[in-house]
Amino acid sequence: MLLWSYFSVVFTDPGSVPPNWRPAMDEERGEGDALNGSEFSALQSDPSNQRIRYCRKCSQLKPPRCHHCSVCGRCVLKMDHHCVWVVNCVGALNYKYFLLFLFYTFLETTLVTLALLPHFIAFFSDGEIPGTPGTLATTFLAFVLNLAFALSVLGFLIMHVSLVAANTTTIEVFSFGSVIEYGFT
């Protein structure tokens, strides 16, 4: 399941803006505000207009909760982040697989840590230690690394589950946090 979820998040498109997407109304405020050609050109020249967002890099309108990924070079729907582990953006269409990948990675590293625990305890016991020095060093190192990795993945998993519970993304949390921190409204 770990490999299935990993390859699913790697090969699933995170979600992109359909070509020539145009809002029928201002979706963020719920106001009927259909765009025609003259209003669209006025939008491009007026950066103070916050109702409808425009991506300068893609040269197209952006739906709400859409962000431009500088690594992928495109706008991604409900973008959470660009993940170096999966060499892909995590967005609307592959976020489920990313959460499953974190969950199964945590389970695997915890299982290996628990399997190595008796050997780790035997390493510190007063009795005879079975195995060669190389085997003992490998077991000790594998236990410590798996424990550290399991705890760090657990932190990521808890963070992303709380983001899902709050219906927000990592980018939105950091953007909103910087607004509050610096007192901008």
CB 114 within 8 A of CB 106: no
Cβ distance 92 to 14 under 8 Å? Answer: yes
> Among 184, 115, 172, which residue's Cα sits nearest to residue 146?
115
Query: Which positions are catalytic?
Result: 83
Contacts of 134 (CB under 8 A, 6+ apart): none
Helices 133-165 + 95-123 axis angle, to 10: 150
The alpha carbon of 169 is separated from its chain's Cα centroid by a whole number of angstroms, namely 8
CA distance 83 to 86: 6
